[in-house]
Structure 1
């Protein structure tokens, strides 16, 4: 797939170079839109008769928002909580649905990397979200004996929320949304891609941030490997968090200047060829033991079987992200990390069809080819890896993918693998016509990290959908530092004058050679079209249409 991506380098570079200096101005509203007020009282929403929907409350509030809104809460049968915000002083026709993170379980509207977007900042956008059909959070026990909750979490919850929210908006304002958008990060990114793949008519524009698209592999082999690769024969941790600064300092000393600027972040960590065994010596204050270095190598490279076959993409954790490895590297013996918790929650209740095993331990997971294929079968309904988005594209849909290069939770390689699969399936020029990918140097999972981590990713989407202006640079900030991020594969380079903390002093370039990282691994066939299926809850069991087998390499 690498050659498909390389063939598009020049075309994207030209677009970026021509538009690099443009500042995107957030549209005040859809063309010709006049802000409208509701045609009914907020409290009257509870009396709306919509099939399968029960409204619990509808009250006017501000709740820290820039303008008052009608806060609506209800339930879409059987158990999808829906929460809405409907502006009462003026609505300009936009609807934004936001996603949730982890295994969801709570319904709270949030605007990932979009708070500066004008209609959010001024409170003129109608919003909604859902808990995805359960109230159990990251403890996957909510899925035990509850196949409908599994279906709602997989794909139905977001779809029915979009349907109901649009119906409420139409009744409340006397007109439907002019444009509908979805924005989410982490599992919200998976929800975003699931919408584009399964329900391409729900939204005009979609933002998918750090998507947990390959959720089954992510929450089994990936997170389990984070734990078992760091344990000795007695079950004790080999690498503890106090060693992470030593590793990070060595990585940056070796690779920070590869992009021509020593600034504390790597613009493309795939170019860093750091060898952790360089740190092996007898000085405990500055070095690692050989066993610790082996763990570092395993954590970077990712899960493999005994024969070296990759059970996830080639790089699991990028160089430069080491300070955030506390997600899975504990501070002390006996601590339980996020990776262990999320892997066990998933393996016990969601990884296998109609299996609930609260006694499952990570030692029960076999890192073998046969175990891999047994485990990933639930990808058929849980994962959002179908690269054929032609239905979404033909309907005029626009997609922005984004990921942090220092994401400690979901590898950016998963998003790059999906993006490559899109280009191989649909053709590079077709993908360029409706989609963009942004990779943010130094950005951790959805936010945080050492690089600029605050940016407005929604405004470029609104301009693209409503005005036909394709996205160019996105300006990310952290304190007084600002940097442009260009559509992949272009990267920002300091122009040699001005300030290295000023985005205006950077220009886009496309590297002449792509880093030697491939996407051939045991589960590469998960990024194909045709095996995905739909399911039903029948007599307390999850029953899914057979579909096609997942292609094997």
Structure 2
């Protein structure tokens, strides 16, 4: 009886220290799990101006523990979906981004699945379709300026605002920490948040960001196609030749980092000459025309006078096996690059213009055409390096990119990082052999969220991220450090590598025609007016 009374006193003491809805803290988290203060089904009755909650049901689909699955619409057309843990929420909110041109609302924990609150289902999360349906067909933008604004920047911000309000009502308190993680267009969304809405998130993870969206989806992808066509419109280089090119690249450059491991830790050091493969044996060599295509694809879009229309390297050496994104297997095939470029050029590249008959050959690779095209960067792209408000709010930023990204050049992310001035609140991780967001020859599975949580909540800046592929693991260190084998043990074990900052960095020229896009002051805010997109202020994009 005395023991029971003592236990009761202990339980009462613990209860006095907890706020209503609290559960005892677990060893895996410093934040106390919190129970909901309302039933899941009652979320549909929340009075949120401009928001319609269509459904709220308890499920465990695709998750380790039950959650309240919420779906609704933020006026006029932003779909929002949420997962709210019902058996204990650890007071964190994670919003995830979408890819391509968006159009679907599906929570995607890109490179975050191993993070403890995600893995155990104790994190609240949400995402949006960015105000339209139809993922990579840009026709949704025709005559719909509000959808264009929502896709550009409003959808993510409004989702963050509404999701936090729903969380506050559901649990009786707001999130202690809020995070955003996305890759590809999700990476652009991440940077747009840091630039335009610096108070929305404490920590932002931007993977392979499509930050320079307009240049990427016009000149970059159109060049991928047109640089590989002859005068008759036939492809010069076909995918069957890519293994030959890749093998030659690796033979020339794989050992530059001191280890023949099938990936290049910094492809910029590789000085491969595709013309070295030219000879008369079609089984083992390239034609001179094919070698010229390889050079053009690597170097990127230029005018007829050689003026660069994107950063100096469009596709890094070592990524050749994934060039099937834009190099077809046979004549007559349509590649991803052609589809994405046409979708964008027809409906999004120019203010208030919808031209479903536009062809890639209509795009002129000239300086005048470049400046006419990139005007929509003012609201669509996320390359403003002024993150002073984000820094003052205490925000942390992790950028990451695969060196073998076949879709978005890592040079665009390097260009942005250098424009930031390598600040203390940001880190950049470059993964050898990693293709676009995942895949490739190098280790491509890693937990990028746990380092961010530790940085925001404990003040411990990330010093490495370990990536794996099967039994192979490799550390990746904040740029400019690279991983070097220490000479002992297996080269497949991350424990046997140390960080090294190279004495000299490869020279890459960021003095290209669009360099002014990586400056502050050109971004605009837009409104739908009489069915048209009207953006202000109309500051010009700085250019030579």
Give the match's secondary structure for 2:290: helix
Q: How does 1:202-241 map to 2 (within 5 A)?
A: 202-241=200-239
Contact 1:27/1:463 (CA < 8 Å) preserved in 2? no
Find the aligned partners of 1:276 and 1:475 in 2 and give their Cα distance: 33
- Structure 1 stretches of 4+ with a deviation exceeding 2 A read 26-29
Equivalent residue, structure 2, for 1:458: 449
Larger-Rg structure: 2
Within 5 A, what are the aligned runs for 1:32-51? 33-51=31-49
1:70 aligned onto 2:68 = yes
CA-to-partner distance for each residue in 1:287-320, whole Å, 9 max, x for gaps? 1000000000000000000000000000000000
1:537 paired to 2:528: yes
2:502: which partner in 1? 511
Q: Deviations over 1:434-470 (max 9, x none)?
A: 1100000000000000000000000000000000001
451 and 500 in structure 1: CA distance in 2 versus 1, 3 angstrom threshold:
same
User: How far off its partner does 1:34 sit?
Assistant: 1.6
Q: Distance in 2 between matches of 1:83 and 1:190?
A: 20
Report the 3-state secondary structure (helix = DSSP H, G, I; strand = E; otherwise coil) of the residue aligned with 1:339: helix
In structure 2, what is the Cα distance between the partners aligned to 1:520 and 1:414? Answer: 12
Q: Alignment RMSD, CA only?
A: 0.9
Q: Which has the higher contact order (CA 8 A, sep 6+)?
A: 1
Work out the CA distance in 1 between the residues paired with 2:313 and 2:532. 36
Residue 384 of structure 2: SS of its match in structure 1? coil
Alignment of 1:2-401 (within 5 A): 28-29=28-29, 31=30, 33-401=31-399
What is the TM-score normalised by the length of structure 1?
0.93
Is the alpha carbon distance of 1:531 and 1:41 closer, same or farther for their aligned partners in structure 2, counting shifts above 3 Å? same
Alignment correspondent of 2:541: 550
CA distance in 2, matches of 1:75, 1:503: 45
Distance in 2 of aligned mates of 1:117 and 1:57: 28
Structure 2 residues not aligned, in runs of 5+: 1-25
Q: In the alignment, which residue of structure 1 is the partner of 2:411?
A: 413
Output the CA distance in 1 between the equivalents of 2:283 and 2:44.
64
Deviation at 1:524? 0.3
CA shift for structure 1 position 518: 1.5
Q: Shift of the alpha carbon at 1:546?
A: 3.1
Any idea what the Cα deviations from partners look like across 1:221-251, whole Å, max 9, x if unmatched?
A: 0000000000000000000000000000000
Instruction: Kindly state the Cα deviation for residue 28 of structure 1 after the two structures are TM-superposed.
Output: 3.3
User: 3-state SS of the aligned residue for 1:70?
Assistant: strand
Once the two structures are superposed, residues 146-173 of structure 1 have per-residue CA deviations (whole angstroms, 9 ceiling, x without a partner) of 0000000000000000000000000000
Distance in 2 of aligned mates of 1:97 and 1:80: 14
SS state of the match for residue 239, structure 1?
coil
Looking at structure 2, the residues matched to 83 and 184 of structure 1 have their Cα atoms a distance apart, in angstroms, of 16
Matches within 5 A, 1:419-438: 419-423=417-421, 428=422, 431=423, 433-438=424-429
Whether the 8 Å CA contact 1:482–1:501 is kept in 2: the answer is yes
Any idea what SS the aligned residue of 2:484 has?
strand
Give the match's secondary structure for 1:374.
Answer: helix
State the secondary structure of the residue aligned to 2:468. strand
Spell out, residue by residue over 1:235-292, the C-alpha distance to the aligned partner (whole angstroms, 9 max, x if none). 0000000000000000000000000000000000000000000000111111100000
1:449 aligned residue (440, 448, 452): 440
Structure 2 counterparts to residues 468-479 of structure 1, below 5 A:
468-479=459-470
User: 1:298 is paired with a residue of what secondary structure?
Assistant: helix
Residue 303 to residue 27, structure 1, CA distance change in 2 (3 Å): farther
Q: What secondary structure sits across from 1:63 in the alignment? A: coil
Instruction: Provide, for residues 79-118 of structure 1, a one-character-per-residue CA deviation record: whole Å limited to 9, x for no partner.
Output: 0000000000000100000000000000000111011000
SS at match of 1:73: strand
Distance in 2 (CA, whole Å) between partners of 1:258 and 1:38 is 56
1:27 to partner: Cα distance: 8.8
Stretches of structure 1 lacking an aligned partner (at least 5 in a row) = 1-25
Shift of 1:516: 1.6
Mapped to 2, the partners of 1:179 and 1:213 lie a distance apart of 25
1:17 maps to none
SS in 1 for 2:178: strand
Cα separation, partners in 2 of 1:344 and 1:50, compared to 1, 3 Å: same
User: CA offset at residue 119 of structure 1?
Assistant: 0.2
For residues 183 and 168 of structure 1, what CA distance do their matches in structure 2 show? 20
Q: What residue is the counterpart of 1:3 in the other structure?
A: none
The equivalent of 1:492 in structure 2 is 483
Residue 137 of structure 1: how far off its partner (Å): 1.2
Counterparts of 1:27 and 1:171 in 2: how far apart (Å)?
Answer: 27
The separation in 2 between residues aligned to 1:434 and 1:312, in whole angstroms, is 27
Task: Write the deviation string for residues 186-209 of structure 1: whole angstroms up to 9, x where unpaired.
Answer: 000000000000000000000000
Q: Determine the structure 1 residue equivalent to 2:19.
A: none
